[in-house]
Amino acid sequence: MPMSSYYRELRTKIGTDLIFSPSVAAVIRNDSGHILFVQSADDQRWSIPAGAIEIGEAPAQAIRREVWEETGLKVRPLTILGVAGGQEFRWTYADGNQVEYLVIVFECQIEGGKLDAIDGESMAFRYFDPSNLPPRQFPYPDEWFQSPGAHVTWFADPT
């Protein structure tokens, strides 16, 4: 989706300066255990479905909304795989807006829908084998992509 009214208003006040953004991301597996990645229409990078938590929105609500907007899938969050953030989770958009994400990563189960870029941000979808993932936009720990069931909440620590 386009930038929310909250972030649009914030940007009118601070311009493109670096902001901190609480966010969510989803690890979604098909029946073969392969993980869904979306390819960005902006820069052709592959990433797991993700996005900012809106004001007043709980993280579980945000992951359902973000996955729907980016993929057309309805999901149920099962567990939190971990939380990631720090300098490696900074991003500068084409318009110059800078952000540092703090990301809650959920393991999610598909409940319905069909792959379709509802918000126009995704240009392609592909399931990847966990042993052969594409280069990722952000350095989520490899452990988060391994077999489901090995759910241990783990905090990314660069040290």
Q: Using the predicted structure, report yes or no on whether residue 155 has a pLDDT greater than 50.
A: no
- Return left, alpha or beta for 10; rule: phi > 0 is left, psi -120 to 50 is alpha, else beta: alpha
Residue 25's nearest CA partner among 11, 17, 33, 35 is 35
Interval 12-45: pLDDT, tens? 999 999 999 999 999 999 999 999 999 887 777 8
Record the pTM. 0.88
Q: Using the predicted structure, report yes or no on whether residue 117 has a pLDDT greater than 90.
A: no
For the chain, the domains span: 22-134
Tokens of 142: 């490899």
Is 3.30.420.40 the CATH classification of the domain at 22-134? no
